[in-house]
Amino acid sequence: MPATMSDVARAAGVSVMTVSNVLTGRKRVGEDTRRRVLAAVDDLGYELNLTARHLRAGRTNTVALVVPRFDHAYFGELAARLARRLEASGRHLVVEQSGASREGELKALTLARLHLYDGVLLSVVGMTPDDVARLRTTVPVVLLGEQDMPDRFDQVRMDNVEGARLATAHLLATGSRRVAAVGGSRSGRGMTYLRTLGWRRAHEEAGLMADDALVLPAGQSDLADGREAVRRLVAAGAPFDGVFAFTDTLATGVLAGLAEAGLRVPDDVQVVGFDNLDASEFLVPALTTVDPGHDAMTDHALRLLDRLIERAPGTDPGTAVEPEHVTGPVSLAVRGTTRHTA
Amino acid sequence: MPATMSDVARAAGVSVMTVSNVLTGRKRVGEDTRRRVLAAVDDLGYELNLTARHLRAGRTNTVALVVPRFDHAYFGELAARLARRLEASGRHLVVEQSGASREGELKALTLARLHLYDGVLLSVVGMTPDDVARLRTTVPVVLLGEQDMPDRFDQVRMDNVEGARLATAHLLATGSRRVAAVGGSRSGRGMTYLRTLGWRRAHEEAGLMADDALVLPAGQSDLADGREAVRRLVAAGAPFDGVFAFTDTLATGVLAGLAEAGLRVPDDVQVVGFDNLDASEFLVPALTTVDPGHDAMTDHALRLLDRLIERAPGTDPGTAVEPEHVTGPVSLAVRGTTRHTA
DNA sequence: CCATCGTGGTGTATCGATAAACCGCGCTGG
DNA sequence: CCAGCGCGGTTTATCGATACACCACGATGG
């Protein structure tokens, strides 16, 4: 039975409102009364109930980040960056998991869990643009999706096609001729499709033919999938001298697979990843990878979210801000898994 | 202006309570009325306000995990495991970050409490036993700390000393004679101290002398710290033929440092980590590491938390459950960074 | 033939904090 | 001499959902 505000009020011989005022400092309170209240608070071990405050005030100073999975390094780093920024503005980040499934994401959204937060950053993976379009929520939401989502929402994306093109072009420019696309897929609209597109485009630009047999899909376990992809390539006897792995985690698995197969990196096979995770620089050899401009994306996401949150009080549909779709700048971090020349 | 329950009630021509009953299914409602209500809900795009429900019900079906940092693989994996278990019992996990500092942990705990989570799993790092002892909380809390905390709280720990002893003993048994302790510290009570203790103990048991000069502290950035430790060892010209890194992340950095220095693993230098992260198996060579019995720890933590949550309604101090301190079983996952024989 | 029960609903108090209105009181200025 | 005001509070209404008591009405049973 936690102490409530009126317990404190009674103990201090004042009204609840006075206790509230002392605690929030929103109104002047006599020094004497103030001390009595604080003493009572201390005495009863009282703690403010944020739920109640939220109900009344409509603000939580808390932003949620909904990610597909807790155990993906990319999202961990994303969360850390966001938390740092939010902390600076006196706010708070909590992370929730959607389970990387369409159902999970929908549940995370419709379950009205959203109302617990001032705003939500939603990493869309499983949901289709249609699902998103159907969302009826009044809570400020910014999508961190990979694919292009309906205009109704703000969205921050990576430039998947360009990043993939950069990665593949670099492999081709440094001498690789048969570049596998690990994590790719020939259909859909998601990240995998877009990066496959970039991979294809780089081939075209180099006047080369992309071989669809080198497109290897990934499943749920990136590390194992990356290794498995190499195993399959080797088993199939398909010649390959380069790998564009669609995430750094997949690339890590790929490196393991190559080592297992006795293939040297970058001498026999060059490898490029995507994400530029903290750990990638420390792999042996250090991973060449696409840097999706983390900081720029973080900045954009928070700017868009704040814009929505500011507007919230009025919520005048007339003055509705025009949703923005921004795309981060990509670049290539060249390291040890690729050669410097052909 | 989001639609409220009474908006729905008005639209459907029923009372608020009936709407509530339809939505929660807690009471029987006539099929006809039910349909009208659902239609109105759909029509107005109504979303349940969890904040209000929580305020009234006093339950959230949500458990919070407070970790030092979002961007540490260990905590990501921990969160994923916990979420999986909680999901199975119809509950929900949210993750918060404390910033690895004493203040951060205290603040996070306060916030967590205020948010009316049903329970909190707190990864203690910065707080001292004294801080913990001072905590006055009515919310179910289970500590996931490294060091031993006051009896008043349930706590799940790794067997740090034994794990470190195992790791070091393995290095010594397979021929290493000068084993660096990367991430170690000669004082304090925390994880670093305990693992240093295990490192020392293994030496004693082998009748060898542990050299304090081989204890290298780590800072905030494990990956860089691991690499830096090797650089320092090499620069100092201190001979060493084994490394016990206090986390797998440090070990990853160590491997990078060794590669940079042209030292072969495991031929010139053997390496053992601690944590058995998912990625560790995929490093090249695959990392030998201490497995802290993740599943057992998860099970224990949730069992203890549930016990506290069950008891919560009554909260009779007389029937208070006796707090438990459990320690997970550690074992060694032997892989490629160590040899099989001396 | 009346007491009892089940069905499908309604009314009201309540969770804890807070915004806004209000209220004595002593002081000041015109 | 009185309107006006700053100070230090108190009262009241409210946020949105839900627990609980209650009620009308028809069916059931002994």
Find, among A192, A191, A199, A255, the residue nearest to A223 by Cα: A255
Which of B:139-178 have CB within 8 Å of A?
none
Q: Please name every residue paired with A179 in a beta bridge, in sequence order, or none if there are none.
A: A242
User: With a 7 Å cutoff on the CB, does A5 touch strand C?
Assistant: yes
Q: Where in chain B is the domain with CATH 3.40.50.2300?
A: 61-158+294-328, 160-291
Quick check: A108 and A126 in contact, CB under 8 A?
no
Task: Please report the pLDDT score of residue A103 as a whole number.
Answer: 67
Predicted pLDDT of residue A110: 59
pLDDT at A314: 44
SS3 category, B314: coil
Verify whether the Cβ–Cβ distance B315 to A136 is below 8 Å. Answer: no
Whether the CB of A138 is below 8 Å from some CB of chain B: the reply is yes
Neighboring chain A residues of B256 at a CB cutoff of 8 Å: 281-284, 286
**Which pLDDT score is estimated for B314?**
44
Whether A116 sits inside 8 A of B76 (CB atoms) is no
pLDDT at B103: 82
Strand C contact with B18 (CB < 7 A): yes
CA B93 – CA B70 distance, rounded (Å): 14
Answer for the pair A327, A314: CB distance below 8 angstroms, yes or no: no
Instruction: Give nearest nucleotide to A3 (CA–C1').
Output: C16
Cβ contacts of residue B329 below 8 Å, gap of 6+?
A: B159, B293, B296
Q: Give pLDDT, residue B317.
A: 43
Cβ B321 to strand C below 7 Å: no
Class of domain B61-158+294-328: alpha beta
CA of B167 to C1' of D4 (A): 81
3-state secondary structure of B4: coil
Which residues in chain B are contacts of A52 at CB distance < 8 A? 55
Neighbours of A89 (CB within 10 A): 10
Chunk chain A into consecutive blocks of 10 residues (it has 342) and report each block's average pLDDT, rounded to whole numbers.
89 94 90 93 90 88 91 96 92 85 60 80 78 74 82 90 97 97 84 94 96 93 96 94 98 98 97 98 97 96 92 51 89 96 72
pLDDT at A111: 55
**CATH 3.40.50.2300 spans which residues of chain A?**
62-158+294-328, 160-291
Q: What is the pLDDT of residue B220?
A: 86
- Angstrom CA distances, B135 to A122, A219, B153, B278, B301, stand at 34, 45, 10, 35, 19
Two structure tokens written together for A107: 């549940």
Q: In whole angstroms, what is the distance from residue B99 CA to residue B108 CA?
A: 9
**Contact flag, residue A37 CB and nucleic strand C, below 7 A:** no
- A21 in contact with nucleic chain D (CB within 7 A): yes
What is the pLDDT, as a whole number, of residue A106? 59
Choose from B54, B70, B123, B283 for mutation: most chain A CBs within 10 A.
Answer: B70
Would an 8 Å CB–CB cutoff place B321 in contact with chain A? no
Mutate to test the interface with B, among A54, A63, A70, A109 (most CBs of B within 10 A): A70
A17 Cβ within 7 A of any nucleic strand C atom: yes
Residue A305 Cα distances to A110, A292, B62, B224, angstroms: 19, 20, 25, 33
Taking a contact as any Cβ pair under 8 Å apart, which residues of chain A between 202 and 261 contact chain B? 223, 226-227, 249, 252-253, 255-256, 259
Other CB atoms within a 10 A radius of the CB of residue A156 amount to: 24
Question: A62-158+294-328 — its CATH code?
Answer: 3.40.50.2300
**Interchain CB distance below 8 Å, A51 and B49:** no
**Taking CB atoms and an 8 Å cutoff, what residues of chain B touch A95?**
70, 79, 94-96
The answer to whether the C-beta of A339 is closer than 7 A to strand D is no
The reply to whether residue B95 touches residue A47, judged by beta carbons under 8 angstroms, is no
Q: Are strands A119-122 and A141-143 parallel, antiparallel or unpaired?
A: parallel
| ∠ Cα B330 B336 B340 (to 5°) | 80
User: Radius of gyration of chain A from Cα atoms?
Assistant: 25
A323 CA to C20 C1' distance (Å): 35
Q: Is the CB of B16 under 7 A from strand C?
A: yes
In B32-163, DSSP assigns E strands to 62-67, 92-97, 119-122, 141-143, 154-157
Rg, Å, chain B Cα set: 25
Gap between the Cα atoms of A107 and B112, Å rounded: 23
Non-local (6+) Cβ contacts of B135 within 8 A are B109, B141, B153
CA gap B161, B169 in Å, rounded: 12
Q: Is A294 on the interface with B (CB under 8 A)?
A: no
Taking alpha carbons only, the member of A168, A333, A162 closest to residue A240 is A168
Query: From the Cβ of A44, is strand C under 7 Å away?
Result: no
Q: B76 to chain A: nearest residue by CA?
A: A71
A-to-B residue pairs, Cβ atoms closer than 8 angstroms: 160
CATH code of the domain occupying A160-291: 3.40.50.2300
With a CB cutoff of 8 Å and minimum separation 6, the contacts of A96 are A64, A65, A66, A67, A108, A113, B92, B93, B94, B95
Question: pLDDT at position B75, please?
Answer: 96
CB-based contact A76 B77, cutoff 8 Å: no
Please tell me if residue A85 touches chain B, with a CB cutoff of 8 Å: no
Cβ-based neighbours of B202, under 8 Å, separated by 6 or more: B164, B165, B166, B167, B168, B169, B172
How far, rounded to the nearest angstrom, does the alpha carbon of residue A183 sit from its chain's CA centroid? 18
Beta strands per DSSP E along B179-287: 179-182, 215-216, 242-245, 270-274
Closest by CA to A164, choosing from A242, A74, A273, is A273
Tell me what pLDDT residue A294 has: 95
The number of helix segments (H) and strand segments (E) in chain B equals 12, 12
Judge residue A161's burial from the number of C-beta atoms within 10 Å of its C-beta, 0-12 exposed, 13-18 middle, 19 or more buried. Answer: buried
Nearest to B185 by CA among B203, B204, B169, B164: B164
**How confident is the model at residue A318, as a pLDDT?**
43
Q: How far apart are CA A288 and CA B309, in angstroms?
A: 48
**Cβ pair A284:B51 closer than 8 A:** no
Q: Is A88 on the interface with B (CB under 8 A)?
A: no
Q: Specify the domain boundaries for CATH 1.10.260.40 within chain B.
A: 5-48
Q: Report the SS3 class of residue A208.
A: coil
Please give the C-alpha separations between residue B36 and each of A159, A169, A285, B16, B49, in angstroms, as whole numbers: 46, 59, 64, 13, 20
The DSSP string of A47-114 is ---HHHHHHHH---SEEEEEES-TT-HHHHHHHHHHHHHHHHTT-EEEEEE-TTSHHHHHHHHHTTGG
**Is A100 (CB) below 7 Å from strand C?**
no
In CATH terms, A5-48 corresponds, of 1.10.260.40, 3.60.20.10, 1.10.645.10, 3.40.50.300, to 1.10.260.40
Beta bridge partners of B243: B180, B271
From B328's Cα to the closest Cα of chain A, the distance in A is 21
Encoding tokens for residue A309?
A: 């949150």
Positions of strand C less than 7 angstroms from a protein CB: 7-12, 14-21
- Strand ranges of the sheet holding A288-291, from the earlier edge strand across to the other edge: A215-216, A179-182, A242-245, A270-274, A288-291, A331-333
Instruction: State the nearest Cα–Cα gap between A208 and chain B, in angstroms.
Output: 32
Q: Which residues of chain B have pLDDT under 70?
A: 312-320, 342
Strands A270-274 vs A119-122: parallel, antiparallel or unpaired: unpaired
Q: What distance in Å separates residue A207's CA from the closest CA in chain B?
A: 35
